Structure 1
Amino acid sequence: AIIKSKPSGRSGRQQAEYLAAELNREDETWKTKARDLKEEVLRLRQELVLTKLLSKPNNSAGAGEEHHLSESDSGCGTGSRERAISEHTRFLQNLSGLLQLDGPALALSGEGDVVWDSVLHLLSTVVDAYREAGGGRLLPQPGLLIQASQVVARVLDQRGIHQRPPVQCLGQSEDSLKELVDLLLNNSQLNKVGEVQSNTPLICGLLRPTLVRLLLSNINHLTQHLRDTCQVRERQQPVDWARYENSFYLFWLLEHLSQAGRWKCGAENQDLLAQLESQVLPLSEEFPLLALYMWRVTALLDPMSAARN
């Protein structure tokens, strides 16, 4: 059928490749339309949540606050990705502000899925922006990315703003964090992406242990790579200098996490912390600065380690 339907001057293989490309384009078009429709449905659900909260009799925000929220910057005039980040950030900011204003009186009932959908959409959009920036595309406004991450952290720390998260939501958020850490560690464009990413940590109680585990695990993999490189020099195994340099962003994040609310490493991450601590002396001669950071982080996350050493 392909051979019979091909135009003159085009081989059967060329016709098959052309039809396959057309199908792929149509598939991408439908995927884009479906994604846009999902975004629109979520936006309408967000507006409904805010309207319900503002219409409650005990709401002290009043009509003036409602007007202020409805007239907030929607992100129009920006790129489609920046607009999506801006809209989800705006909703979470408004929601957080309302609950902060009226406290438990405005606690959500049955709307926690809207909050989680907004958080997951925002996280995935931010990850997409960093991934594409690592591939050479223009990074959205750094201030917008930092603001988005800070809003997510504030929302997930705020009591009464979300219901107990489903396992699926936690899994998706952990996947987003994992990709963010991977992009930060393996990014070769430090000045373009790394500095922005290192200033957008999700320092929230709900995801903090997960983020610490991801950071410690990646640093441990790097230190093992460095030890192997030092021990088998005759094989001329090269040092991955990009990952080495980027690891200091991970140390910065661990320092920041450890100092947020005087939080310390939990039992679930003690094995990773002990593994990191055991690498300090073996690497201190070849990589003294890295070893110093390793010792500092272990001391911050586990003060007893500093006493032992």
Structure 2
Amino acid sequence: MDDSGCDLSNEQRTEPLEPSLDSTESCISLPFLPLPLVKKPHTTPENPLSSHMQFLQHLLELKKFMESGTLKTDLTHLEKDSSTISDSVLQLLDGLITFYHNPRLPFSNFWTEAVGTLAQLASDCNLSNLILKKCYKKLEEFKKTLLQAILETSNINRFQVQHYICKSLVILGSCSLLRKSIVPLLLSEINSFTDDLEAINQVQATYDVTRYENIFFLLWILEQLLQIETKEHSSCIDHDDPEIKKFLQKLDGTVFQLSDAFPLFTFYLWRLGILLNSAKMEIVGSSALP
């Protein structure tokens, strides 16, 4: 936790841009059964312990639904009160947003479990429409909170925290419905940074080194999501999205303009361009099949 990211010893070195891809951390076995999934009023700041317990309650019960194999039969009962699951998801998101506004080490496995459970729920065909319809704004807030936690931190010991946040975004993007909106969100930040870097390079001005370092985490996340897209032969990404079109249209010019001053950055952009074009070619090829 005290590592600033500058330790060069072979035993302790950790590459900040290559977090683990394992998104299936085991949940800690608890000596009690999950509590019933019921609506709870939002807790007040005066009772933080209650809010932590409610977060745990909603996480455990939602995981029980996903892992019990009885979700479809449970939905028949829940149709009488369809807001039960969505309310629990909203309160789970509230807890995650509160934590990621000011994330600190050590990270509990429960945060990863919570993000993984959200991705599972959004991937379930029986629940995805319900969750996306009622929790869309809160999900967008959560994704933007994760991005801000990566981009806006300047602490010298930030790399370990960013490692876990990157992992959370990749887990969230494992759901194709969520990946569709995460990819343009990442590209929006990358395109904006690229524009600023081009302007700085033209006048040979100094640039924000911390911002430059932080953007590489977004590049890594985007690469992982595009690799998932290619591996799954998925076509969830909208290649007509303005941010995707802007990135691909400017890619060649950006590489030529910035390759001398920022070779690592332009190399990463080129790799992302290859992945985006590969995914696009697969979609065109699939649609051309009889």
Shift of 1:275: 2.1
2:89 is aligned with 1:119: yes
- What is the alpha-carbon root mean square deviation over aligned residues? 3.0
Does 2:201 align with 1:230?
Answer: yes
1:130 and 1:193 in contact (8 A); partners too: no
Deviation (angstroms), 1:215: 0.6
Q: Aligned to 1:251, which of 194, 201, 219?
A: 219
Q: Which amino acid aligns with 1:148?
A: A
Q: Is the 8 A contact 2:65 2:71 kept in 1?
A: no
Cα distance change of structure 1 residues 131 and 104 upon mapping to structure 2, 3 Å threshold: closer
State whether residues 62 and 117 of structure 2, in contact with CA within 8 Å, keep that contact through their aligned partners in structure 1. yes
Residue 198 of structure 1: how far off its partner (Å): 0.6
Match of 1:104 in 2: 72
Instruction: Indicate conservation of the 8 Å contact 1:220/1:276, yes or no.
Output: yes
How far off is 1:87 after superposition? 2.3
Aligned partners of 2:213 and 2:87: how far apart in 1?
35
CA distance, structure 2, for counterparts of residue 247 and residue 104 of structure 1 = 42
Structure 1 residue 282 displacement after superposition: 2.4
Question: Counterparts of 2:218 and 2:267 in 1: how far apart (Å)?
Answer: 14
Structure-2 change in CA distance of 1:106 and 1:44 (3 Å): closer
Structure-2 residue corresponding to 1:205: 176
How far apart are the structure 2 equivalents of 1:168 and 1:47? 17
- The verdict on how the C-alpha distance between 1:159 and 1:166 changes in structure 2, with shifts beyond 3 A counting, is closer
Structure 1 outlier segments of 4+, above 6 Å:
304-307
Q: 2:163 aligns with which of 195, 201, 204?
A: 195
Shift of 1:156: 0.9
The aligned counterpart of 2:37 is 46
1:103 CA drift (Å)? 5.7
SS at match of 2:130: coil
Higher helix share: 1
C-alpha spacing 1:193/1:157, structure 2 compared with 1 (3 Å): same
* Gap regions ≥5 residues in structure 2: 1-33, 40-47, 283-290
Q: Deviations over 1:103-128 (max 9, x none)?
A: 63443424442222222222232222
Work out the CA distance in 2 between the residues paired with 1:247 and 1:106.
43
Partner of 2:210: 242
Query: Deviation at 1:80?
Result: 5.6
Q: Give the distance between the partners of 2:190 and 2:74, measured in 1 at CA.
A: 42
What is the CA-CA distance between 1:184 and the residue it aligns to? Answer: 1.2
Distance 1:142 1:45, change over 3 A: closer
CA shift, 1:301, in A, is 2.6
Q: Partner of 1:170 in structure 2?
A: 136
The answer to whether the 8 A contact 1:89-1:122 is kept is yes
Structure 1 window deviating more from structure 2 (253-262 vs 194-203): it is 253-262
Aligned to 2:187: 216
Structure-1 residue corresponding to 2:61? 91
Query: Partners in 2 of 1:269 and 1:85 — Cα distance?
Result: 38
1:254-284 residue CA offsets vs partner (Å, 9 max, x unmatched): 1222233333563365431232231333222
Cα distance change of structure 1 residues 124 and 299 upon mapping to structure 2, 3 Å threshold: farther
How many residue pairs match? The answer is 227
Aligned residue number for residue 131 of structure 1: 101
Query: CA separation of 1:132/1:124 partners in 2, compared to 1, >3 Å: closer, same or farther?
Result: same
TM-score (norm 2): 0.67
Q: Does 1:291 align with 2:259?
A: no
CA contact (8 A) 1:217 1:272 kept: yes
Higher relative contact order (CA 8 A, sep 6+): 2
What does residue 184 of structure 1 align with? 150
- Kindly provide the amino acid, as one letter, of the partner of residue 183 in structure 1: A
Distance 1:217 1:210, change over 3 A: same
- TM-score normalised according to structure 1 size: 0.64
User: What is aligned with 1:266?
Assistant: 237
The secondary structure found in structure 2 opposite 1:199 is: helix
Task: Return the offset for 1:302.
Answer: 2.8
Displacement after TM superposition at 1:102 (Å):
3.5
Amino acid paired to 1:126: L
Taking the aligned partners of 1:159 and 1:305, their CA distance within structure 2 comes to 25
Partner of 1:8: none
Q: How far off its partner does 1:303 sit?
A: 1.1
Distance 1:112-1:163 versus aligned 2 partners, 3 A rule? farther
Q: Larger Rg: 1 or 2?
A: 1
